[in-house]
Amino acid sequence: MQYSLVVGGELVPGARSLDVVNPATGDVFATCACADAEQVNAAIAAAGSAFSAWAASPASERSRMLEALADRIAAEAEELARLLVSEQGKPFGDAMGEIMASAAMLRYFAGFQLEDEVVCDDETARIVIHRAPLGVVAIITPWNSPVLMLANKIAPALRAGNTVVCKPAASTPLTTLAIGAMCAEIFPAGVVNVVTDANDLGDRLTANPAIAKISFTGSTATGCKVMANAAQRITPLTLELGGNDAAIVLDDADIEAVAPQILGAAMRNAGQVCLATKRAYVPEDLYDAMCDKLAELAGEIVVGNGLEQGVSMGPIQNRTQYEKVLGFLDIAKEDGRVIAGGEAIDGPGNFIAPTVVRDIASDSRLVTEEQFGPILPVISYSDIEDVIAQVNGSPYGLGGSIWCGDVSRGLAVAARIETGIVWVNKYMDLRFDVPIGGVKSSGVGVEMGREGILSYTRRTVINSQPASAA
- Where residue 108 sits, what CATH number does that domain have? 3.40.605.10
**227 pLDDT higher than 90:** yes
Are 206 and 167 members of one domain? yes
Q: How many distinct structural domains can be found in the chain?
A: 2
Pairing of strands 5-7, 457-464: unpaired
Beta carbons within 8 Å of 228's beta carbon, 6+ residues apart: none
Are 29 and 104 members of one domain? yes
Q: In degrees rounded to 5, what are phi and psi of residue 248? A: -105, 115
Would 468 be classed as within a structural domain?
no
Are 369 and 254 members of one domain? yes
pLDDT given for residue 470 in this prediction: 52
Would 430 be classed as within a structural domain?
no
Would 431 be classed as within a structural domain?
no
pLDDT given for residue 428 in this prediction: 93
pLDDT mean over 194-214 = 97
Length of the chain: 470
Which residue type occupies 339? I
The pLDDT mean for the chain works out to 97
Would 470 be classed as within a structural domain?
no
d(CA 96, CA 89): 12
Are 64 and 160 members of one domain? yes
Helix H or strand E encompassing 133: strand 126-133
- The three-point CA angle 413-419-424 to 5° equals 45
The strand order across the sheet containing 117-121 reads: 117-121, 126-133, 457-464
Are 288 and 213 members of one domain? no
Which residue type occupies 93? G
pLDDT mean over 388-398 = 98
**165 pLDDT higher than 90:** yes
pLDDT given for residue 64 in this prediction: 98
Are 270 and 235 members of one domain? no
- 392, 368 contact by CB (below 8 A): no
Would 467 be classed as within a structural domain?
no
- Residue 257 belongs to domain spanning: 245-424
Pairing of strands 375-381, 355-358: parallel
pLDDT given for residue 467 in this prediction: 76
pLDDT of 48-103, one tens digit each? 999 999 999 999 999 999 999 999 999 999 999 999 999 999 999 999 999 999 99
pLDDT given for residue 466 in this prediction: 85
Are 206 and 95 members of one domain? yes
Closest by Cα among 215, 50, 41, 43 to 135? 50
d(CA 319, CA 300): 25
pLDDT of 113-140, one tens digit each? 999 999 999 999 999 999 999 999 999 9
- 152, 216 contact by CB (below 8 A): no
Are 360 and 232 members of one domain? no
> How many CB atoms within 10 Å of residue 312?
17
pLDDT mean over 274-299 = 98
β-bridge partners, 32: 18
**DSSP for residue 142:** -
β-bridge partners, 17: 33
Are 116 and 95 members of one domain? yes
pLDDT given for residue 380 in this prediction: 98
pLDDT given for residue 468 in this prediction: 66
pLDDT of 411-447, one tens digit each? 999 999 999 999 999 999 999 999 999 999 999 999 9
- Buried b / exposed e along 16-35 (16+ C-beta atoms within 10 A): eebebbbbbbeeeebebbbb
Residue 394 Cα distances to 241, 248, 286, 323, 324, angstroms: 14, 14, 24, 24, 20
Q: What is the SS3 assignment for 180?
A: helix
Would 451 be classed as within a structural domain?
yes
- Buried b / exposed e along 46-80 (16+ C-beta atoms within 10 A): bbbebbeebbeeeeeebbebbbbbbebbbeebeeb
Helix H or strand E encompassing 279: strand 277-283
pLDDT mean over 374-403 = 98
> For the whole model, what pTM was predicted?
0.96
pLDDT given for residue 292 in this prediction: 98
Would 388 be classed as within a structural domain?
yes
Are 254 and 146 members of one domain? no
Are 228 and 284 members of one domain? no
Helix H or strand E encompassing 220: helix 220-231
Would 469 be classed as within a structural domain?
no
pLDDT given for residue 1 in this prediction: 74
* CATH code assigned at 278: 3.40.309.10
Q: Can you give the three-state secondary structure of 373-425, one letter per residue?
A: CCEEEEEEECCHHHHHHHHHCCCCCCCEEEECCCHHHHHHHHCCCCCCCCEEC
d(CA 21, CA 131): 43
d(CA 343, CA 354): 9
Are 197 and 217 members of one domain? yes
- 402, 447 contact by CB (below 8 A): no
Higher pLDDT, 23 or 1: 23
On the CB side of 270, CA atoms within 13 Å amount to 32
Give residue 469's pLDDT band: very low, low, confident or very high (50, 70, 90): low
**Catalytic residue numbers?**
240, 274
Pairing of strands 27-34, 16-22: antiparallel
pLDDT given for residue 461 in this prediction: 97
**111 pLDDT higher than 90:** yes
d(CA 355, CA 347): 18
Q: Sign of the C-alpha dihedral, residues 42, 44, 49, 53?
A: positive
Pairing of strands 355-358, 337-340: antiparallel
- 251, 283 contact by CB (below 8 A): yes
